[in-house]
Amino acid sequence: MKQLTPENITAAVCERFASCADARLRTVMLKVVEHLHDLAREVTLTPDEWMTAIRFLTDTGGKCDEKRQEFILLSDTLGLSALVDLIANRARDPEATESSLLGPFFREGAPELAMGSSIARHIRGREIIVSGQLRSLKHRAVAGATIDVWQASPSGVYDLQTANPEEMDLRGRFRSDGEGRYCFRSVKTRSYPVPTDGPVGTMLNALGRHPYRPAHIHFKIEAAGFRPLTTALYIAGDEYLDSDAVFGARGSLIVDYKTSSMRGEASGGLDSIEHDFVLDYLRSVEPAASH
C-alpha cells in the first residue's frame, strides 16, 4: 500500500480518474483536484478552516430554493460568473455588442408585449422610453428577434423579491420590427444590493466588501442565424460602476438618459435610453437570409 504524503496524494487521487469515459469530465475534474490540493498546500489549510468552508457551502445550498440561487450569487461575487462569460465571448467579433451577466433574476415566460408597451405594470416611478435597433455586423436590420427585458424597481427590488413574487413586473418580451427596431417604456431603475441575508452576505461583510450593483436594465436577445446575446445597459454616473459587486459592468454598455427623440405628445419630454445592439453571427459567414 502506497504511503500517502502531502506531496504525493494529488497524483494518487488523479489516478482514480483514469477509467472515466468522458474525456472532458476527466480533464475538468483533474484540474479541480490539482488546484484545490495546491491551494490547501499553499495556505497550509487546517482541518478547522476546511470544516468552516464545508459549513459555508452547506449553508449556501440550504439557502437555495425555486426563487433564490445562492450558489449563483456566490459565483457572481467571486467573479467566476464574469470570468466564464468573458471566456465564452472572447471569440466574438469586436464590433458586436459585449455580453454581460444573466444574473439570478431572469424568469422564463415573461409576457410578450406590443412595441412601445410599458413593462411597469404595478410599479410607479419616473417613466422612461428605451429604444434602438438590432443590426448585424454588416449593418443590416435584424427583424423578428425576441428581446427579453427585465430590471429592478426604483427602490432597487426585483419582482421575485416582493411580497407577491408570483406576479411578474418590470419584465417583458418584445419582437424587433421589420427595420430591426425595438421600443418599450419602463421606469428609472437604481443601484441595489445583492441579497445579503445569507452566507454570501456574511462572506462579503467579513471581507469588507459592499454588496451593490450599479443601476442597469437586462436584455436577452435571440434571432435566427445569430449568437444569442445576454447583456445589460448600465446607467452613466452610477457610483458603483467601477466596483460592481458581481463584476458585470462593461464600459461599452454604459448609457445615459437623454430627452426622447420620438415623436408624439405621449413621449415628449420623457427621459430616454437609445441604444443599438449589434449581433454576432453563429458562423463566420453572414447567413443568406436578408437580415
Describe the crossing of helices 70-77 and 47-62 by its angle, rounded to 10 degrees.
Answer: 130
Domain 71-278: which CATH number of 1.20.140.10, 1.20.120.1200, 2.60.130.10, 2.40.100.20: 2.60.130.10
DSSP states along 4-26: P-TTTHHHHHHHTTTT-S-HHHH
Average pLDDT, the chain: 93
Q: What is the pLDDT of residue 121?
A: 92
Q: What is the pLDDT of residue 264?
A: 52
Taking the C-alpha atoms of residue 188 and residue 265, their distance in angstroms, rounded to an integer, is: 20
Whether the predicted pLDDT of 245 surpasses 90: yes
Q: What percent of the chain has pLDDT over 90?
A: 85
Q: How confident is the model at residue 265 (pLDDT cuts 50, 70, 90)?
A: very low
Q: What is the pLDDT of residue 1?
A: 80
Whether the predicted pLDDT of 272 surpasses 80: yes
Residues of the chain with CATH 2.60.130.10: 71-278
Q: By three-state DSSP, how is residue 98 classified?
A: coil
Taking the C-alpha atoms of residue 278 and residue 290, their distance in angstroms, rounded to an integer, is: 15
Q: What is the pLDDT of residue 269?
A: 73
Whether the predicted pLDDT of 30 surpasses 90: yes
Whether the predicted pLDDT of 215 surpasses 70: yes
Q: How many CA atoms lie within 13 A of 55 on its CB side?
A: 8
